[in-house]
Structure 1
Amino acid sequence: MICTDKQPNTLESIALASAESVQAAKVVRSPKKQQFDILRPLRQWLDGIAISDRQMAELLAKAIPAQCPFERDIKLFGHKVGHIPPLCKLNPFYDQLVGLRFRALCYLVDQCGVDIQSYI
């Protein structure tokens, strides 16, 4: 079919209908309630720590584990009676500590020229 001025363009019609339905489907969201996060200042402090010393960077890279510590199932007579989740899920500062370790490793590589294979 050839589109002329007299015939509506099918693609344009579909696009307009699609745009209208998207606009109609948008849900007006209520503003999110501000929740008090008692740990936020400590998270921000951990995120704000600047690595400026080789000894500090080495200490952080050694002290903060590279992987999330263990996850275990507790079994009694072959039946699962309990579960210990990964410890990183129990630690509310896990993401900040992993970021701090990453910054320490980056400092060791970029500023000190250290091979970090021993830290991984």
Structure 2
Amino acid sequence: MAEIIELGKLNTQPLESEFGKLKTDELIVTNERIEHIRVRHPEDFELFEEYSLSVVSDPEFIIKDGKNENTVFVTKKLENTNLNLVVKVILETDEDELKNSVMTFYRIRDKNLRKLINKNKTLYKKE
């Protein structure tokens, strides 16, 4: 059984405007996804540990993932890079035991962030 860690609360307003009513504002990450980040993005793992709560609580952008259903990119700018937290949002109509969850996390260059913004719908932009 996967261990579940609560990572924080999502700003549901921009998400619900796009997807409909969410089951909860809770965002979780499983030990399996933490291991995925550690193995697949080892150079970013320390940043995940240090900044993931900040990305969730104070994002720069929330961008709809045009390729994956009910998925968003939650990004935050740091001094020398950008952080990208990929989140699967769970709607009111989804199975009861599901919660909004982290799929992966990695750094993203300015150029690639601009591409994400240009190719996908921005749901939230920090003013």
* Shorter-chain TM band: under 0.3
Higher share in strand: 2
Higher share in helix: 1
For normalisation by structure 2, the TM-score amounts to 0.25
Please identify the structure whose Cα radius of gyration is greater: 1
Larger RCO of the pair (alpha carbons < 8 Å, separation 6+): 2
